[in-house]
Amino acid sequence: MKVSQNWLKKYIDFNLTPEQFTEKLSMLGLEVEAFEDLAKKFDKFVVGEVIERAKHPNADRLSVCKVRTGKNVEQIVCGAPNVAAGQKVAVALIGAVVPYNQHARDGKPFTIEHVKIRGVESSGMICSEIELGIGKDASGILVLDTPAKAGTPLAKYLGQNDVIYEIGITPNRPDCLSHIGTAREIGVLVNKKIRLPKIVLKEIKTSASKFAGIEILDKDKCPRYSARIIRNIKIGPSPKWLQDVLTAVGVRPINNIVDVTNYVLMETGHPLHAFDYDKLAGHKVVIKTAGEGDKFVTLDGKERTLTSDTLMVCDGERPVAIAGVMGGANTEISDATVNVLLESAYFKPQNIRRTSKYLGLSTEASYRFERGADIDITVTAADRAAQMIQELAGGEILKGVLDAYPKKRKPVTVKAHAERINSVIGVSLSKAQIISLLKKIDLLSRSISKNEILVTVPAFRNDIMEEIDIIEEVARIYGYNNIETKTHAAIDFSSNVRNDEFQNGIREFLIGSGFNEILTIGLQDEATMSLAGKKPVMAVNPVSAEMAALRTSLVTSALKVVKHNQNHGVKDLRLFEIGNIHLLTSEKALNSLESYKEEERLLLVISGNRQPACYGNISQPVDVLDIKGEVSVLLSKFCLDNYSFIYYDTHEILSEECVGIEINGTYAGFFGKIKKQIADKLDIDEAVFVCEINIETLRGGWVRDRKFSPLPKFPIVTRDLAFTVDVTLPQRNVEDVIREAGKPLCMNVVLFDTYTGEQTGKDKKSVAYDLEFQSPDHTLTEEEVDSVLKKIIEAVNERCKGVLRG
């Protein structure tokens, strides 16, 4: 909300620099977000009096003037044809920044300095309208009114001495959405009470009640409706001062009637609406809800569809306004308007809020009504506006205010305990101190027992309903920064501190393995997300179609990261992400949280060359064994041997190079190569290998508490074995048979070579293994090892049709 310093000063005297004002008001909870000091623009500009004008000795078109600028008289060389002795003029003194340079093509501002013009000293400049940025006249200097006093700051003379503040008002403080409301808070700062505007009404004898009636049919949504009627007004533009103050606070002037309602809105915070009285059929006002689906044209010319919840102001025949939101085109004030009915009502905040949300229409009025207006002020506001209308548009104010107020607001009182106040804030204030703090913001209270006070809450503070609200006010007025900064929290150790220790362990491990951590947002477009196969959870009101679906897998967002990096020439990628995915478990009960499942996943991505480009490193593209290696190392590190792979698995996003991962027998995720179609769709030109693992399942296999097993005492005996097997037989089958047959003495089997070629023929391959034998209790003899080898060779021969190579 914009407020004008000059306007505020009508209600409260204060003398604060804009910086002080900003600091102090912010510390009271009214955050001053910005200010504009209009006078700054005219710093070092004053009203000057031309005492003497002489021709320049060296230039025909120039004059040498003696100008009084207060106590001093300056010599100024001036080129304007219209300068003359006796004139009051606008003078830019040394150091002034002239907003517009009429002699330069770009018009850039420039600073006044001591200069010699054709040999004559000049200390200042007499300005034209265009140079001052207040008009378009460039033909000569601006001549001011003669009564102006030399030395007066020009800003003051021009009425440009205001400071406009932009204040952020929190939703709980609608009472501050006005100059009077803001002034009340300033009163706390300067320890003064505000002056409310004096209202003197000149009513005529004719009673308003003869000219209109008010009927509230929905008393819940409209607890109070007040109105005044003013006859025989003359529509026209508002005077300059009114137009200026409205413009200053961001309101566009329209005509004297509408401007007055806006002025009173900005002054008191109470929204008013003016109807053309003669257009109100039956000269009555009825407040009731609309019919479902009814149409209504608001004064912005738009047709709105209403619901049975929309509260309408109607005349004898039809609706004339959407209550508290916007008036209708049918009864709008026009140049032909002569008689006015001025509405000053109070509408139920929740209803106005629903209507405004439903219509997607927020106005100054609805903004205040939905936060809560002051029900006690309706008549005052109507009177204030009627008075101003009469002053500015003439006319006769009919006698009496029409005021339908079926159920009077009961005074709100709140009990507060001094002890409780002190114990929440952490201070030790006496009851008397509390009472005096509250008094500063018009919360009058009295002591009702040893420890309790009873606070009477004025209607404009609709945010104060219970004790905690009083506590907040005490803290606020006492000053947050006057509250001591203490710590005495007793230490207690909770069990959950290790909660994400596991994730951090994975993170550190992967960073050590040369992976860069990425973070991506969990919202994607539906088409990309559907590549992952599952139907995603969708937002009903997405920010954009690109962010409408919640991801069901971390892979697709990471592929976009791969794409981004490839586009920027970075092709060798090792990335990981730890993030959440969301799955829809039931499409029927979308209104139940049970239908959504959140899973934390770990994603690895590798692409490009295996090793960084560097002398001695071979540039070789990664393949599926690289991702397999990374996954194996990670799983072995955290889960020891609690995992296994499902070879030749399938997955929507992976090619036939796809391996499933089981941890403790539970499916945990997959790794493999991205399908070509998907890479093509995302315009990725290199092979990408990914792995996605469910973190919970991974954690399930985590062997956190390790047990020491004694180191072997007896030596290892190693032997090599090579077999020729069918080329299609996975080596793993051979390896498994060796392990099985070699038990218990064969401790380790390591594949060191595979080969297909001349020696084997196309249909066969050779697989060669290093075998390690060891006994926990004695040194193995040759015979022992040989007998195990024999068993192994027989088993491979029998179960894999493997032939031992010589």
Partner 1 sequence: MLENINQTKQEFTNELQNTHDLQQLEQLRIKFLARSGRIGGLFEGMKTAAPADRPMLGKALNELRQYAQLHYDAKKADLEQAQKPKEIPFDLTLPGRMKNVGTKHPVIQVMEEIKRIFISMGFSVENGPEIESDYYNFEALNFAPDHPARDMQDTIFIADKILLRTHTSPVQIRVMEKQKPPVRAIMPGWSYRNEAVSARSLVAFHQVEGLYVDKGVTFSELKGTLVAFAKQFYGSSIKYRFRPSYFPFTEPSAEMDITCYLCGGKGCRICKYSGWLEVLGSGMVHPHVFKAVGYDPENYTGYAFGMGIERTALLRYGIDDIRILYENDVRFLKQF
Which of the residues 159 through 178 are near partner 1 (CB under 8 A)? 170-173
Helix axes 256-268 and 364-371, enclosed angle (nearest 10): 30
Residue from 545, 590, 640, 750 binding partner 1 (CB under 8 A) = 590
Q: How many CB atoms lie within 10 A of CB 559?
A: 24
Smallest separation, CB 582 to partner 1 (Å): 6
Let me know: does 127 contact 72? Beta carbons within 8 Å. Answer: no
Q: 56 vs 348, which CB is nearer to partner 1?
A: 348
- Determine the interface stretch with partner 1 among 70-78, 484-492, 653-661, 768-776 (rule: CB under 8 A): 484-492
Neighbouring-strand partners of residue 577: 603
Q: 517 vs 740, which CB is nearer to partner 1?
A: 517
Positive or negative: CA dihedral 317, 319, 323, 326: negative
Smallest separation, CB 368 to partner 1 (Å): 10
Ranges assigned E (strand) in 323-391: 326-327, 340-346
Q: How far is CA 751 from CA 126, 718, 754, 802, in A?
A: 96, 13, 8, 15
Let me know: does 346 contact 352? Beta carbons within 8 Å. Answer: no
Site for partner 1 in 691-730 (CB under 8 A): none
What letter would DSSP give residue 490?
A: P
Smallest separation, CB 106 to partner 1 (Å): 24
Tell me if 485 contacts partner 1 by CB under 8 A. yes
What letter would DSSP give residue 328?
A: B
Smallest separation, CB 579 to partner 1 (Å): 8
Q: 502 vs 645, which CB is nearer to partner 1?
A: 502
Neighbouring-strand partners of residue 64: 54, 77
Residue from 114, 146, 336, 491 binding partner 1 (CB under 8 A) = 491
- Determine the interface stretch with partner 1 among 75-83, 248-256, 438-446, 614-622 (rule: CB under 8 A): 614-622
Smallest separation, CB 19 to partner 1 (Å): 9
Residue entry with tokens 């300005």: 127
Tell me if 480 contacts partner 1 by CB under 8 A. yes
Give the tokens for residue 12. 């409260």
Smallest separation, CB 265 to partner 1 (Å): 17
- Determine the interface stretch with partner 1 among 4-12, 97-105, 110-118, 348-356 (rule: CB under 8 A): 348-356
Ranges assigned E (strand) in 706-792: 717-726, 746-755, 764-773
Smallest separation, CB 461 to partner 1 (Å): 14
Residue from 410, 489, 707, 782 binding partner 1 (CB under 8 A) = 489
Indicate the burial class of 140 (C-beta count within 10 angstroms; 0-12, 13-18, 19 or more): middle
Q: Which helix (H) or strand (E) segment is 274 a member of?
A: strand 273-276
Q: 170 vs 787, which CB is nearer to partner 1?
A: 170
Residue entry with tokens 């200097």: 141
766 CB-near residues (< 8 Å, 6+ apart): 722, 723, 724, 753, 754, 755, 756, 759, 760, 805
Smallest separation, CB 27 to partner 1 (Å): 6
Q: 569 vs 710, which CB is nearer to partner 1?
A: 569
Residue from 114, 116, 205, 614 binding partner 1 (CB under 8 A) = 614
Residue span 417-436 as binding mask against partner 1, x where in contact by CB under 8 A, dash where not: ------xxxxx---------
Site for partner 1 in 533-552 (CB under 8 A): 537-544, 547, 550
- Determine the interface stretch with partner 1 among 259-267, 324-332, 487-495, 647-655 (rule: CB under 8 A): 487-495
Site for partner 1 in 560-589 (CB under 8 A): 561, 564-565, 568, 570, 572-575, 580, 582
Smallest separation, CB 1 to partner 1 (Å): 14
Smallest separation, CB 614 to partner 1 (Å): 4
Residue span 496-515 as binding mask against partner 1, x where in contact by CB under 8 A, dash where not: xx-xx---x--x--xxxxxx
Q: 494 vs 709, which CB is nearer to partner 1?
A: 494
Q: 295 vs 357, which CB is nearer to partner 1?
A: 357
Q: How far apart are CA 319 and CA 324, in angstroms?
A: 13
At 491 the three-state DSSP class reads coil
Residue entry with tokens 């937002």: 539
Residue from 15, 146, 191, 591 binding partner 1 (CB under 8 A) = 591
CA atoms within 13 A on the CB side of 532: 26
**Tell me, what amino acid is at 129?**
E
Q: 380 vs 607, which CB is nearer to partner 1?
A: 607
Cα–Cα nearest to 290, from 303, 314, 307: 307
At 156 the three-state DSSP class reads helix
Smallest separation, CB 266 to partner 1 (Å): 19
